[in-house]
Amino acid sequence: MVTKAKRRGKAKRKVITEEASRRRRKTVKVKRPKKKIMKNDGDTPPSLYAVVRIRGSVNIQKSIKDTLDIMRLNRVNHCVLVPSNPSFKGMLHKAEECLTWGEINEQTLEKLIFKRCRIEGKKPGKEKASEIAKKVISADKEDLKKIDIKPVFRLVPPSKGYKSIRKFFPGGDLGYRGDKINELLKRMI
């Protein structure tokens, strides 16, 4: 026979566990905005996206971790260049709660290669950096692999910091940001 005291204890425990699970859910969830359509001013799609990892790997689903590993984004503040094709766009949307991306322009790419690129253990010179930048911009996915540069650029945290690593682009730093990625990369180089 169950007494009133035992019933009260069970009810109390149930309320406490429900509150705790609600708190846990609030801290882990990231609110996603509606999917944005990636637009470009010209008729041709942009050839390259610069992708920067912003958040670490704690409390992230295994499928998202695997996606980040495929893209070689193993650490925070690492950057990779990916072509704009449907498979990479799908991967970007899957892992958008951990990274930001956008179209990179030639000047920013040249500066990124000059400061943060490694070729056979060395940094390239200014002339070599501009030559590599032109090759990379005109390259396909297969050609990106043939260019002898390391695929990951190890950047520093941005000067003046991030807005928020929990909110999406207009209010924070996650997700697709278009041409504004160039401003972020300049602060991180």
Over the stretch 10-28, which tens digit does the pLDDT of each residue have?
Answer: 555 666 666 666 665 555 4
Q: Which domain holds residue 136?
A: 48-188
Number of domains in the chain: 1
pLDDT band at 8 (very low <50, low <70, confident <90, very high): low
The answer to whether the CB of 188 falls within 8 A of the CB of 108 is no
Instruction: State the Cα–Cα distance between residues 70 and 29, nearest whole angstrom.
Output: 23
Residue 72 has pLDDT above 80, yes or no: yes
Instruction: Please choose, from the candidates 188, 127, 125, the residue with its C-alpha nearest in 3D space to the C-alpha of residue 153.
Output: 188
What pTM did the predictor assign?
A: 0.72
Provide the CATH number for the domain around residue 59.
3.30.1390.20
Determine the straight-line distance between the first and last CA of the chain, rounded to whole angstroms: 70
User: Is residue 40 a part of any domain in this protein?
Assistant: no
Over the stretch 130-183, which tens digit does the pLDDT of each residue have?
Answer: 888 888 877 765 666 677 778 889 999 999 988 888 888 888 889 999 899 999
